[in-house]
């Protein structure tokens, strides 16, 4: 695995890291960008969908344990570690090359009291760790496609069992995926309809929020007075996310 500067790419059997004009990018088997980092601001979230995934702060601004399924360049792990050192992040990644790239080229720090990177199958890990997380961040893609093992009805049900009371599963889906409607339906079934979503960049990504317990709408309303301060603290447009947030019954426009 090599880092290539400029427009040319260098690969390692489908894994590519490129850098141009101060932006470092990770690709996994396709032209789709899996992770991006501005070299002079390595802790920031450059991609809009990653910022939207942090929308869980609208519902729980103080999670104790966050479980990531899919590491990529480690952008979310680095952001949480920097902004909320009280939160422990466990990142599960099946591909050792991705872990190596994150640490070598994307400034993911070594494991410590706030970060643990586990090289394992995310689907298996979830089944083995019930009741272990307040938030799950699921971003599982391979060569530009959703990893099917991380999108089954069984897997989503297992994710719900991982969550503690009040827990939230946050899923990055491709809005134009031919299976999008089915994935969304599975999430709705697994979480008894307690599901909402944010569309990013005209449906390129749809960030789905699935809640372990009822009452998420009331939680969001209760948090609205705090969103201005939270937005400033984290450098995220949480007020905008709250404005754009839709509940499951509003999914019809995305299915057209």
Backbone phi and psi for residue 70, each to the nearest 5 degrees, phi listed first: 100, 120
Q: Which long-range contacts (CB under 8 A, 24 or more apart) does 146-149 make?
A: 146/173, 146/174, 146/177, 146/179, 146/183, 147/70, 149/121, 149/122, 149/123
Torsion 19-100-47-78 (CA) sign: negative
How far apart are alpha carbons 190 and 170 in whole angstroms? Answer: 13
Strands 145-146 and 141-142: antiparallel
Strands (E), 9-132: 11-12, 15-20, 23-28, 33-38, 65-69, 88-93, 115-119
111, 139, 177, 244: the catalytic one is 139
How far apart are the C-alpha atoms of 52 and 70, rounded to whole Å? 16
For tokens 């997380």, the residue is 133
DSSP state of 190: H
Question: Catalytic residue at 237?
Answer: no
- Site of tokens 């426009």: 253
Residue owning tokens 């872990």: 99
Report the catalytic residues: 139
């Amino acid at each position: 695995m090599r880092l290539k500067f400029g427009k040319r790419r260098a690969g390692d059997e489908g894994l590519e890291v490129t850098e141009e004009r101060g932006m470092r990018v990770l690709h996994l088997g396709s032209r789709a960008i899996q992770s991006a980092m501005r070299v002079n601001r390595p802790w920031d979230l450059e991609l809009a969908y990653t910022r939207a995934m942090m929308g869980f702060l609208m519902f729980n601004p103080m999670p104790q344990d966050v479980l990531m399924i899919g590491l990529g360049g480690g952008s979310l792990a680095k952001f949480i570690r920097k902004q909320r050192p009280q939160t422990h992040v466990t990142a599960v990644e099946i591909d050792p090359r991705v872990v190596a790239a994150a640490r070598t080229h994307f400034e993911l720090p070594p494991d410590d009291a706030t970060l643990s990177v586990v090289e394992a199958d995310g689907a298996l890990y979830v089944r083995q760790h019930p009741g272990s997380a307040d938030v799950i961040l699921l971003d599982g893609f391979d060569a530009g496609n959703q990893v099917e093992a991380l999108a089954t009805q069984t897997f989503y049900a297992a994710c719900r069992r991982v969550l503690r009371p009040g827990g939230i599963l946050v899923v990055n889906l491709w809005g134009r995926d031919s299976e999008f409607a089915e994935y969304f339906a599975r999430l709705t079934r697994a979480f008894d309809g307690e599901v909402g979503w944010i569309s990013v960049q005209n449906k390129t990504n749809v960030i789905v929020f699935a809640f372990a317990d009822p009452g998420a709408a009331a939680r969001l309303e209760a948090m609205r007075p705090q969103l201005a301060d939270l937005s400033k603290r984290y450098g995220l447009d949480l007020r905008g996310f709250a404005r754009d947030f839709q509940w499951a019954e509003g999914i019809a426009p995305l299915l057209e």
